[in-house]
Structure 1
């Protein structure tokens, strides 16, 4: 029907349906009609994120068994009639911004338009003719239940000349509303009506109903010109098969269609992930990890780096031994950081140029200085700063120096306040990183240097305390607790000489003591923790993560997962 098409066969029924393509596909249709008439159609389509859907197809209809005579007493000669068409089409969905916020408009892009162009050749015996034409269609779908389709066939009508008189294809207008009834969580019913009007003919009315069970099975019943038709559709993943039978006076016309789609859509990946999370295991975790990777690749193609990083982190948790995922995270993170830096540089440079147009010399200098701090090799910033400094008077330079010192003092105070917050939480490494950033920006500042010395003293004290704990646990043969003490020091002071080697030796001792039963228990509990984390149950995940580390304190995957959970808890509190 004109209102509910959504695959490459939209070339025939309504090209606006090409806007609903979600993945590459190919399809073939074979129809056996009465009197040796056969209809065949093959098509393929592809979806693009920006330009909509495109498709191409080939149609052939042939009828044989006709007889012709050149004279009343001549022997009959057999001939056939064939029609061939090459079709190309495009469809795209559009928003209606002037109706934004309307209660009846629930989909972001409710209007789809489409166009097909076609080249037609007809042969009657040994005589043939060809012509070109175009069709157009529109679909209005304000929500996920109602849709209204309009199709104008032969909007540009093909004109064929067989001998002398041209034959023009009639222009046909189809209007079709459709409504989807949600009967139960797994059952839906689609009802639709189509009104067709051709020149010099009365209006033709057809109607149909389709009973759908999830995405697996559909049963159909329709009527046109008091002739019934029935059929079914079966779908397995990306493959679908359709059959229809039209019960006419001249016999049964049968239609067979097979469609193969390729890849997975964003929604399909999300659904697969949701189903898989409920039954996590090592094998299922690896499979879901691949699904998250596919989803991340799709996000990267759309330049949605934040969403891609989120999916990559989930993939890493599900397959913690996969080093390629971690490498991809590092590469994507670097790409994201570079993108943010580039945006900040471009914005600061644009603001500097705007201040130049307004004649604000000091503000312009400040913006160019910000650019140079982000990119020391930025030639325009260096050139403009030099030019501004030449133009500044003695008074302006003194004023600028005073402003710079005041701003520096404020920035130093803010940086040390952030570092002090980390220090009060016992996050020595984070405190040191923030303080060193301040030192890079304000070299030689005594306040920053004193704070860094304070953090270093606390780091040395932490290492001494944790190593003493580890030695005590090791003497008691409690290698797991010893490793936890060393790891606690290593997380905060990763550069401490000998600490990483001591952790590796203790980790080997813990691994050696793990029985196969404990390894299995660890695996099952690990994916329970991942399940709770991905569902947003951070408190439950945190408690389970503590049990996980008790089983195997040597696991880097468990420690990474614990850190992520604690970060999520801090963020949501």
Structure 2
């Protein structure tokens, strides 16, 4: 590019300085005007370019998509459509369907800016996108000058036709959620420039993140050109650029505001602010301003959408006049969010089938698979945590026999977590049927501790046929003998939780009430005993003492 400039502009400048004729001056001024035009084009208006220090690939900071440009380019944290592949790759995770966007902007003097992107959400909570951005100017006059070797005067000027200036970028973008509130993205891009026969290219990497602090506020940060390689006819280097964006979404997304700031290396900071208001579900109004630091451009735009199609128009007003941008968007296929949610539901359904059948280890494996697909699902995370505790004692409880059935019911109740007392009672019943099962006892004790029970179930003492009910009955009677009537009632209640019609437990509870001088309650307990066993003569004698 330097070679072309000196071969064309420098001789013209010397000719003008030496008093060349009006035709030469006209051609020279035409060349100068094009040079000034390119120095002021990216980003618009000219003052903004001056603030950037004339850095390479400025067309990549112009913007993409009429929707974002209608908001003044304040779209870094707002982006939730396919143009996020340009603005912020971390925001690609906002897309629910496959989406394609194309934009065309007519600038000045046969100069156009075109943008196309295709974004594809995947089942792995990530979205990839391909994009192309191109700035092209045509109709530059190419001339050949023959100077006098003996002096500065020009012997001949010959027109060689016209040439074009083209700057083009191809990019691959990828964004992925790491949680329901945080996502990261990366863009790999190739930027090429061609001015007549001079050409060069840049390969660079951008990184970005998006943090959702709430349903109405999110923030984005990014670094552009964090890594770059240059090749071709240039000494230029892509500037390292830091970006920060904020988005505020009100009225369920009906009103959105965006504010971005960017600081290119060796250039002044610039800022952008804009808003979007959806009049109805299908039509929107937009506005925006950009500055560096004074306001340099004002933008406004409109957008409509119908089913899977969208059309946006943006108008920019600045010192050089105004520019119009059009873009169309098409969404395709089934909603990725709906598809993803169905996949998670199917996995959970399989997990619950294993869970209810007592295949707890298989259930955990399925639940972990569901959590990998939906890491923000705290219900699944909690279920895995509680089930892993239970599986540490009882890996599985399958079959239709009484003990595994009771164990399964107890673990299901424990994992549910809404009624630990029920879980304790069912597991106690299971242990009463299998008093030699040490693993079951350990599980029962763990659940009893979590239920904050002061007295834990212990292994039966005495003969091998001594069951949990036998042990509890013995303990309750012993408490009566020791004068610990409250404890006796508690131990009797433990029995009644498992066997509501246990005659002995009702008798002990009645005795405890009687000894606590609560004869009415004692009478109620003993009457229940007689309902169960009318031939209980001892209790009938006790009952007479309450009247």
**Normalized against structure 2, the TM-score is what?**
0.48
Q: Which of these two proteins has the greater Rg computed from alpha carbons?
A: 2
User: 1 or 2 for the larger relative contact order (CA 8 Å, sep ≥6)?
Assistant: 2
**Normalized against structure 1, the TM-score is what?**
0.46
